[in-house]
Structure 1
């Protein structure tokens, strides 16, 4: 169900107030999590263009791609005549698009609370009144995944690598919040920010019991200086996620419950049979 046309205003994450005479029908999305949210709200048909990384659901691959989310192709976006462009706060294209008379909504979820807020905000923009059910489904799915984690896994200290650098998911990130709800300890504290770039020596000193990493970053973990001594590598407690799984894990949107299930399965697979985890080997 979509609400009837009426004028309204929405404030984005940059504090910019965007006015709409009616619900936008032509939408360009430049962030995969926002793209997936539009589709989960049942409004995929309104998308007329996406960034190169928005590849789920599969039907999106038929849409025009307008470059990357940070530096998109402005001319290609203008040619699509969008009623609104959804993009990350960190994108450098928002001001340029606004000067061209295009409405821009900058939204960038980094925590569970952010995801809930962004789902509701996109629902508001598109005139979908029951957007809250999307968040309720995500929240219930994460809770269900937590119930599947064996008790022995909850003694593990986890390192989640988002990308080479290495960039990690800290306790303050949506990934870190999911790990907390699954009952395990994240070795990267919230005070470092959601996705900090770490000195590799930090991970060596923290000596995690389990490493979660995408296949693009997994090659050569043991060759990093000192990493062969890390308990997770020594005991073969490393979950390497295929590209499709990795995409699901790092996108703060409707598939967060699926991401929680993937992480819960990793924890169950790598759970120790006898608990020496967290102490000295």
Structure 2
């Protein structure tokens, strides 16, 4: 009786034991731990919070709706794939020869865009919101990416790299830009931070728009070791419209204009603004204009803008004169 019981269970038990030993050997060969599931890829979202759809093949007909995106595409060496750009794209110069799909008023020619048969239409910052929706309804692949901070601008470059199958180039570019930012931060470390007003627009006399908190302009000032006098003002998406009284009360040591001279970016005109003569920046003749394209376009050249800003505010820690591109 006992013999029968042993013989009935012996072989099944032996089989189970073999399976356990094989599993243990497998764990030992794999470093002693079970295989881990692959991490879920991070979902990239556009300016509207919608997940970005990445193409399965490299798009060959690109259209850029804004200058900063044109500059990103060029920095990724994609000029040969761009079939059209917006009215204000002017860098690099070879892009100025391409067809224009918008005018000086910011109106876009939807029919022309569709007729060019793009397989990817790119924008940023929600500047073309109305047209994004219209073009999407017409069946085009439109991606509008957030760009309001330096980190978002760098992430935008990497996303465009994924969309256009130039990831390695994008990663290398981002690494280079990060290194330059770190070098500039190190150069100004330990200097005395001046107070600065960074103006974005003065087309309405007496009520200039400035870079407030949460913007790439505010970050540029921080990286250049300066204090934004309107850092705590985040109204109007971080671009508050302030009053003359608010500027006089803030009393910045530097006033830096970033807008086109046609919209107030002329230092000489600042000295004529009513009641501004008592501001420290005017008393010290610290009113300057920096290249609008470098300071207002959240693309790769934003780091050139940081170089200009840091060298202007802390000339003693930089060798040589202010780079020509700053003007």
Name the TM-score class by shorter chain.
0.7 to 0.9
1:150 Cα offset (Å): 8.1
Q: Which residue does 1:254 correspond to in 2?
A: 300
Alignment of 1:25-174 (within 5 A): 25-68=60-103, 70-88=106-124, 89-91=126-128, 92-130=130-168, 131-149=170-188, 154-164=192-202, 165=204, 166-174=208-216
Question: In the alignment, is residue 268 of structure 1 matched against residue 314 of structure 2?
Answer: yes
Give aligned pairs, total.
259
2:50 corresponds to which of 16, 36, 44: 16
For CA contacts below 8 A with separation 6 or more, give which structure has more relative contact order.
1
Distance change (3 Å), C-alpha of 1:120 and 1:19: closer
Q: Which runs of 4+ in 1 moved over 6 A?
A: none
Instruction: Using the TM superposition, give the Cα deviation of residue 248 of structure 1 relative to its aligned residue in structure 2, in angstroms.
Output: 1.2
Are the counterparts in 2 of residues 170 and 196 from structure 1 also a CA contact under 8 Å?
yes
Alignment of 1:188-267 (within 5 A): 188-192=230-234, 193-214=237-258, 216=261, 217-218=265-266, 219-241=268-290, 245-267=291-313
Normalising by structure 1, report the TM-score. Answer: 0.84
Provide the C-alpha distance between the structure 2 equivalents of 1:142 and 1:19, rounded to a whole number of angstroms: 29
Query: C-alpha displacement at 1:21, in angstroms?
Result: 3.9
Unaligned 5+ runs, structure 1: 1-8, 272-281
- SS class of match (1:98): helix
Q: CA RMSD in A?
A: 2.3
Distance 1:136 1:235 in 2: 38
1:151 deviation in Å?
A: 5.2
> By how many angstroms is 1:74 displaced?
0.9
Whether contact under 8 Å (1:141, 1:260) holds in the other structure is no
SS in structure 2 at match of 1:266: helix
Give the SS at the match of 1:34: helix
Measured in 2, the distance between the counterparts of 1:39 and 1:224 equals 40
Give the TM-score normalised by structure 2: 0.73
SS at match of 2:167: coil
| Shift in Å, 1:120 | 1.2
- Alpha-carbon distance in structure 1 between the residues aligned to 2:135 and 2:252: 45
SS of the residue corresponding to residue 52 of structure 1 reads: coil
Structure 2: how far apart are the matches of 1:117 and 1:35?
16
How far has the Cα of 1:12 moved from its partner?
2.1
When structure 1 is superposed on structure 2, of 178-187 and 67-76 the one drifting more is 67-76
Query: Could you list the per-position Cα deviations for residues 185-244 of structure 1 after superposition, in whole angstroms to 9, with x for gaps in the alignment?
Result: 110124424222222221111000001114612252123232111110111011223xxx
With 229-238 and 132-141 compared, the bigger mean Cα shift is at 132-141
Contact 2:149–2:216 (8 Å) recurs in 1? yes
Structure with higher Rg: it is: 2
